[in-house]
Amino acid sequence: MIAIQTGDVDIGDLITSAKRHGTGAIVVFDGIVRDDDIREMELEAYGEVAVPELEKIASEAKSNFNLLSVDIIHRIGRLAIGENILVIVVSAGHRKEAYEGSRFIIESIKAGVPIWKKELCKDGDRWVPGEHSHGCGPGK
Amino acid sequence: MTVRVRFFARFRELLGTDIMVNAREGIVLSELVKEVASRNQDGYQAIFDDQGVFREFVILMQNGKRIETSAAGTTLVKDGDEIAVFPPVAGG
């Protein structure tokens, strides 16, 4: 399952369906709205480009790391502290491929998929500048 | 000819999104973005520097394909194109 959606996802269901013939390891990455002294987070995506790019990343990860399955669900809209932002579930024969494949996917998403985050702070809002600092505290 | 221009994130807040533009034949990508961005001074300044050059972090797409800002001055825009303009991504 590759999706950009407003709703949450049941990680347990994803794990269950990721168990394939030959699966020896499943790695779950769950990116969560961190309490960086913010109220909420708002996410938007260029969906027509972002979904095909996620599909391409999943396909590359499968072939490069011998993954048996890949699920990527990236949420958009307004999210509260503690909510899931991004869930990646990969299944592989062995833990090494599963860890490396999962890492490849998250780093590829951060590097180039057109999705943006805005932190809604108590004293104003700010767009998260890529991989740079987060949070609304002093000096941010 | 008709072109769709889409801004995202901070650029969207300043300039709007899903803007249908009646563009002249032969216009290049940099000119088109400049014309549309000129509708709002803050939006223009977010995308271009004082010399009218794309700021280094600006990302352009033509029909979903990345176009380097350095090539935008020679990239022709065609009827029905979708042009996207956005700041660095921050997903994940």
For tokens 């990860």, what's the residue? Answer: A61
Residue A131's pLDDT is 59
Using CB atoms, which residue from A44, A46, A118 is nearest to B84?
A: A46
Residues forming beta bridges with residue A24, ordered by sequence position: none
Pick the CATH number of A2-127 from 3.30.1370.60, 3.30.70.270, 3.20.20.450, 3.90.1170.40: 3.90.1170.40
Tens-digit pLDDT profile for chain A (140 aa)? 999 999 999 999 999 999 999 999 999 999 999 998 899 999 999 999 999 999 999 999 999 999 999 999 999 999 999 999 999 999 999 999 999 999 999 999 999 999 999 999 988 899 998 754 456 654 44
Whole-structure pTM value: 0.92
To test the contact with chain B by mutation, choose from A33, A43, A49 the residue with the greatest count of B C-beta atoms within 10 A, namely A49
| Amino acid in the structure at residue B92 | G
Q: Which residues in chain A have their CB less than 8 angstroms from residue B10's CB? A: 127
What are the chain A neighbours of B92 within 8 Å (beta carbons)? 31, 74, 85-86, 106, 109-110, 115
Please tell me the CATH code under which domain B2-86 is placed: 3.10.20.30
**Can you list the residues of chain B whose pLDDT is less than 50?**
none
Question: What is the ipTM for the molecules in this complex?
Answer: 0.92
The domain limits of chain A are: 2-127
Distance separating alpha carbons of residues A21 and A15, to the nearest angstrom? 14
Compute φ and ψ for A17, nearest 5 degrees. -80, -15
CA distance A49 to B64: 6
Pick the residue from chain B with its C-alpha nearest to A106.
B92
Give the helix/strand (H/E) hosting B36.
helix B29-37
| Closest CB to A49 among B10, B61, B88 | B61
**A-to-B residue pairs, Cβ atoms closer than 8 angstroms:** 65
* Placement of tokens 């509260």 in the chain: A80
- A26-64 burial, b at 16+ Cβ within 10 Å, e below that, comes to bbbbebebeebbbeebebbbbeebbbebbeebbeebbee
Structure tokens at A54: 């996620």
Spell out the domain ranges in chain B. Answer: 2-86
**Directed axis angle between helix A95-112 and helix A47-65, to 10°?**
150
Q: Closest partner residue to B90 among A48, A52, A115, by Cβ? A: A115
CA atoms within 13 A on the CB side of B89: 21
